[in-house]
């Protein structure tokens, strides 16, 4: 077998983090949504908010479980796939990861069970507190891991001694130049993923003839939240882009499809970047626009690939960026239209419900595309200017990586299909509670002293 | 490098201790979860739900101890993390696949279509067995210093099987604590069988380990050491026979409505694991990779370890505190896992 172990290790890690990020993106914001539903119920005593909580807490539990198991996998793959990473920057990555485990993971995992199964065992106040702590824990975990990820993008507050990074200032390490932008962008992305998930599933339930009061209430909440978050996200994304231009200009060159440094930079809407000829084919562009949004001047200069000795592959970054922006614009249109209709009539047209249902997991698409922009855009560096991905790779033989890669891919593909279909199945069940009998929790009806089957 | 006052000397020791605590906590806690998974297919549906209800509120936090243990290995001993996990590549991958299957099956089995439930139960069972077996193989490879001869491989596979029996022992003892009625009685029988299997396992591993490693042989079977260490096997034997007697009489006592302390079997089983762990820790110390890498060689910079150390001093007591709180909230016999 002649496959390159580095490529295989990268595909394996990319597959794992791609799979992983889908679920924390849901649990981070869904936790806060649950807290909101819970508080609304406490305030109004309206049963629909309790029903909303009851339905979405199940989705939360499922998403959380998938996030945990893929997160455990990641904690091992740091070592199995990138041993050079911890050897070189372990003094920085180590404490950040350790703080994530210590301050966030245990908090989430422990209070999750009280939040899920403790309703009758603790007071309502403690249960609300548990819900808050779970939401807080997931967000805290995002804080630490994004601090580390941002440090890898724009390292600061360290010095190299004998080939290993040593911390000079933890404040600078954590609050490195890209961190505030990335954290904001990521938290808003999580908010949008969940808002479209809730809006989509609620719309789906209405389309399926749900007569309850919960689905319209959650639909309304999620649509309004999405309509507020999406313009904020566009602004945050723009600020993040300017920050990237300052600290990682080559990534912006890849996003914009710029091979040569130029003034009067056009915004390329469509092109096929060609690594061989180092030019774009079939380019469709709007003159001057990129200069305007990147440099805020009519003919500002932006550096292209030609000015850098290292650069990432252009096509994946270029395309992922367009997918992200495209989905974002679609979200803007849909959420504003839906918010406007809800405001005016209180209900939504069937076609808009269908659009929302179709867009249930659109947040995932934008999220993963955006993640690829920033992670592929950092290549060939693992830690910008400090460590390349190739240097950090392990010496594990290719066939072994290939075998485990095949296993992971199979598992992840199966689980994503299972997750999506189960979420829709749960929505159908919730839409028609009278048919629920087929599968109640079996324990309730079980007689404790029924004869046990034979066997050890 | 050699005095207690220097952080570069004592910090690796502290972190080795912390890692040991995390790993032991993982084995004792997720061990019973995995054990219940191993036993799952010995019963049919209402009992399966009850068994899962006995571990449902705990498994998430229990598995987090593994992340902490690996996290400490990763952060305090970065060189060892790469070397150990690289050498254990395949068993690690299999263990992760097992943990993934087991973890997601918890939720899918009750949320998916009713007719898919048996399949998720199979995933739950298979994942638990696979993860346990892989952990045992990893342990075996660690003890033999990652040498890949036939005796070492057989030894590792054998430990994999022993760990299945061991976790099933923890699992059935946990079920004795968390269930009642017919299921509890069956758990007593499982525990009794598993105890013997585990006992045979621990004994043969204890005999085989010095055999596959000259260094461990020298550490145990030279004269003053042998006497100092004698309490470990003696206490283990005493605990084994106390638990054996307890389990033998438990069905009778349950029939007479005097169950006694239903948590006692789990505590005794955990004690057995603790003693085995002590013996193992002594055998390996101070190496992370036998004869190749000591904790001091593998340690990261003292400043970084200090940062984690301070954090751990503040946060670990809080974690222990709210973990105890959660166990109190869910104390007593398991009831249906309902969300309301």
Q: Mind telling me how many Å the CA of B308 is from chain A's nearest CA?
A: 6
Closest residue by Cα to residue A34 from A10, A16, A60: A60
Choose among B47, B74, B108: nearest Cβ to A78.
B74
Within 10 Å of residue B221's Cβ, how many Cβ atoms?
Answer: 11
Instruction: With beta carbons less than 8 A apart as the criterion, state whether B324 and A427 touch.
Output: no
B173 band by pLDDT with thresholds 50, 70 and 90: very high
From chain B residues 158-177, the ones with a CB under 8 A of any chain A CB are none
Which residues from B are below 8 Å from A169, CB to CB? none
* pLDDT at position A437: 45
Residue of A nearest to B52 (CA): A443
* pLDDT at position B2: 59
* pLDDT reading at B293 higher than 50: yes
* pLDDT at position A249: 86
Whether the ipTM is more than 0.95: the answer is no
* Interface touch B104/A121, C-beta < 8 Å: no
* pLDDT at position A314: 86
Q: How far apart are CA A147 and CA A22, in angstroms?
A: 19
Q: How far apart are CA A383 and CA A378, in angstroms?
A: 8
B167 band by pLDDT with thresholds 50, 70 and 90: very high
* Interface touch A90/B303, C-beta < 8 Å: no
Judge whether B136 is closer than 8 Å to chain A, CB to CB. no
A42 vs B293, more confident: A42
**Residues 6+ away with beta carbon under 8 Å from A275:** A313, A314, A315
Choose among A72, A90, A114: nearest Cβ to B78.
A90
Angle, helices B7-39/B117-143, rounded to nearest 10 degrees: 140
- pLDDT tens digit at each of 456 positions of chain A: 456 888 888 888 888 999 999 999 999 999 999 999 999 999 999 989 999 998 999 999 999 989 988 888 887 888 778 888 888 888 888 888 888 888 888 888 889 988 988 888 888 899 999 999 999 999 999 999 999 999 999 999 889 988 888 888 899 999 999 999 999 999 999 999 999 999 999 999 999 988 888 899 999 999 999 999 999 999 999 899 888 988 888 888 888 888 888 888 888 888 888 888 888 888 788 888 888 888 888 888 888 888 888 888 888 898 999 999 999 999 999 999 999 999 898 888 889 999 999 999 999 999 999 999 999 989 888 888 888 888 888 777 888 888 888 998 999 999 999 999 999 999 998 888 765 544 444 443 333 333 333 333
* pLDDT reading at B223 higher than 80: no
Instruction: Please list the residues that pair with A164 across neighbouring strands.
Output: A161
Choose among A69, A93, A444: nearest Cβ to B336.
A444
Choose among A62, A117, A118: nearest Cβ to B111.
A62
Angle, helices B89-111/B59-76, rounded to nearest 10 degrees: 160
Q: Mind telling me how many Å the CA of A66 is from chain B's nearest CA?
A: 6
**The two three-digit tokens of residue A107, written as one number:** 């908090």
* Interface touch A87/B106, C-beta < 8 Å: no
Cα B281 to chain centroid, rounded: 14
Q: How far apart are CA B56 and CA A198, in angstroms?
A: 26
Residue of B nearest to A411 (CA): B97
Residue A190 DSSP SS3: helix
Q: How far apart are CA A304 and CA A309, in angstroms?
A: 11
* Best residue in B98, B100, B116, B117 for a mutation probing chain A (most A CBs within 10 Å): B100
* pLDDT at position A131: 93
To 5 degrees, how large is the angle CA B5–CA B8–CA B13? 85
Q: How far apart are CA B56 and CA B33, in angstroms?
A: 9
**The two three-digit tokens of residue A456, written as one number:** 């050890």
To 5 degrees, how large is the angle CA A416–CA A187–CA A234? 105
Judge whether A87 is closer than 8 Å to chain B, CB to CB. yes
Q: Mind telling me how many Å the CA of A340 is from chain B's nearest CA?
A: 35
Instruction: With beta carbons less than 8 A apart as the criterion, state whether B106 and B52 touch.
Output: yes
Choose among B53, B64, B340: nearest Cβ to A105.
B64
Residue of A nearest to B95 (CA): A73
**DSSP output for B44-113:** -HHHHHHHHHHHTTTHHHHHHHHHHHHHHHHHHSHHHHHHHHHHTHHHHHHHHHHHHHHHHHHHHHHHS-
Q: What is the pLDDT of residues B42-56, one digit of tens each?
A: 888 788 888 888 888
* pLDDT at position A11: 87
pLDDT, chain B, mean: 86
* Interface touch B312/A98, C-beta < 8 Å: yes
Which residues from A are below 8 Å from B183, CB to CB? 452
* Interface touch B60/A446, C-beta < 8 Å: no
* pLDDT at position A3: 64
B4 vs B61, more confident: B61
Q: How far apart are CA B259 and CA B274, in angstroms?
A: 25
From chain A residues 374-403, the ones with a CB under 8 A of any chain B CB are 394-396, 400, 403
pTM: 0.88
């Amino acid at each position: 077998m002649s496959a390159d172990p580095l490529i295989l290790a990268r595909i394996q890690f990319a597959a794992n983090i791609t799979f992983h990020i889908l679920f924390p993106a849901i649990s981070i914001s869904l936790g806060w949504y649950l807290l909101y539903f819970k508080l609304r119920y406490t305030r109004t005593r309206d049963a629909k908010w309790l029903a909303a909580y009851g339905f979405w807490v199940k989705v939360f539990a499922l998403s959380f479980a998938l996030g945990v198991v893929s997160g455990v996998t990641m904690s091992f793959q740091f070592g199995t796939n990138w041993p050079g990473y911890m050897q070189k920057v372990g003094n920085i990555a180590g404490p950040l990861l350790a703080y994530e485990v210590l301050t966030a993971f245990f908090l989430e995992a422990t209070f999750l069970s009280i939040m899920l199964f403790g309703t009758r065992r603790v007071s309502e106040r403690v249960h609300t507190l548990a819900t808050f702590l779970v939401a807080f824990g997931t967000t805290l975990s995002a804080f630490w891991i994004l601090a580390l990820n941002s440090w890898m993008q724009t390292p600061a507050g360290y010095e190299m001694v004998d080939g290993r990074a040593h911390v000079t200032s933890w404040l600078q390490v954590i609050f490195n130049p890209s961190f505030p932008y990335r954290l904001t962008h990521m938290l808003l992305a999580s908010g949008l993923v969940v808002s479209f998930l809730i809006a989509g599933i609620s719309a789906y339930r209405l389309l399926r003839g749900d007569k309850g009061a919960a689905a319209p209430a959650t639909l309304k909440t999620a649509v309004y939240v999405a309509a507020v978050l999406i313009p904020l996200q566009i602004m945050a994304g723009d600020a993040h882009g300017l920050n990237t231009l300052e600290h990682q200009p080559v990534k912006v060159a890849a996003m914009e499809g710029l091979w040569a440094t130029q003034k009067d930079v056009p915004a390329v809407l469509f092109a096929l970047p060609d690594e061989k000829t180092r030019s774009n084919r079939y380019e469709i562009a709007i003159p001057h626009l990129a200069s305007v949004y990147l440099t805020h001047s009519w003919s500002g200069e932006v550096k292209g690939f030609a000015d850098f000795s290292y650069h990432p592959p252009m096509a994946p970054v270029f395309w992922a960026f367009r997918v992200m922006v495209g989905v974002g614009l679609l979200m803007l249109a849909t959420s504003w239209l839906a918010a406007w209709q809800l405001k005016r009539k209180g209900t939504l047209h069937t076609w808009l419900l269908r659009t929302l249902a179709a867009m249930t997991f659109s947040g995932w698409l934008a999220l993963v595309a955006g993640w690829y922009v920033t992670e592929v855009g950092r290549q060939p560096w693992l830690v910008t200017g400090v460590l390349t991905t190739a240097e950090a790779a392990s010496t594990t033989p290719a066939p072994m990586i290939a075998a485990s890669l095949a296993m992971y891919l199979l598992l992840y593909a199966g689980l994503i299909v299972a997750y999506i279909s189960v979420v829709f199945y749960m929505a159908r069940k919730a839409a028609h509670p009278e048919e629920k009998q087929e599968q109640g929790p079996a324990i309730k009806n079980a007689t404790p002293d029924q004869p046990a089957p034979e066997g050890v | 490098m050699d005095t207690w006052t220097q952080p570069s000397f004592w910090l690796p020791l502290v972190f080795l201790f912390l890692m040991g605590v995390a790993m032991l906590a993982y084995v004792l806690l997720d061990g019973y979860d995995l054990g219940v998974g191993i036993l799952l297919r010995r019963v049919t549906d209402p009992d399966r739900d009850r068994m899962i209800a006995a571990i449902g509120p705990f498994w998430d936090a229990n598995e987090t101890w593994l992340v902490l243990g690996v996290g400490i290995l990763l952060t305090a001993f970065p060189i060892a993390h790469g070397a150990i996990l690289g050498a254990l590549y395949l068993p690690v991958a299999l263990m992760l696949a097992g943990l993934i299957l087991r973890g997601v099956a918890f939720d899918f089995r009750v949320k998916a279509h009713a007719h898919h439930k048996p399949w998720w139960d199979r995933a739950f069972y298979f994942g638990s067995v696979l993860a346990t077996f892989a952990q045992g193989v990893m342990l075996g490879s660690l003890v033999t210093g990652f040498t890949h001869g036939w005796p070492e491989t057989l030894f590792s596979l054998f430990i994999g099987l022993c760990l299945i029996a061991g976790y099933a022992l923890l699992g059935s003892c946990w079920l004795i604590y968390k269930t009642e009625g017919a299921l509890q009685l069956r758990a007593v029988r499982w525990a009794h069988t598993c105890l013997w299997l585990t006992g045979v396992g621990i004994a043969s591993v204890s005999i085989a380990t010095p055999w596959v490693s000259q260094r461990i042989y020298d550490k145990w079977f030279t004269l003053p050491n042998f006497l100092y260490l004698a309490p470990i096997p003696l206490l283990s034997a005493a605990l084994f026979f106390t638990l054996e007697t307890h389990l033998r009489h438990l069905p009778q006592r349950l029939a007479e409505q005097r169950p006694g302390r239903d948590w006692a079997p789990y505590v005794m089983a955990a004690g057995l694991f603790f003693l085995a762990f002590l013996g193992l820790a002594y055998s390996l110390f101070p190496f992370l990779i036998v004869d190749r890498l000591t904790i001091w060689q593998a340690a990261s910079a003292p400043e970084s370890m200090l940062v984690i150390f301070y954090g751990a001093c503040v946060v670990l007591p809080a974690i222990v505190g709210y973990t105890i709180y959660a166990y109190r909230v869910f104390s007593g016999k398991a009831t249906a896992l309902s969300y309301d």
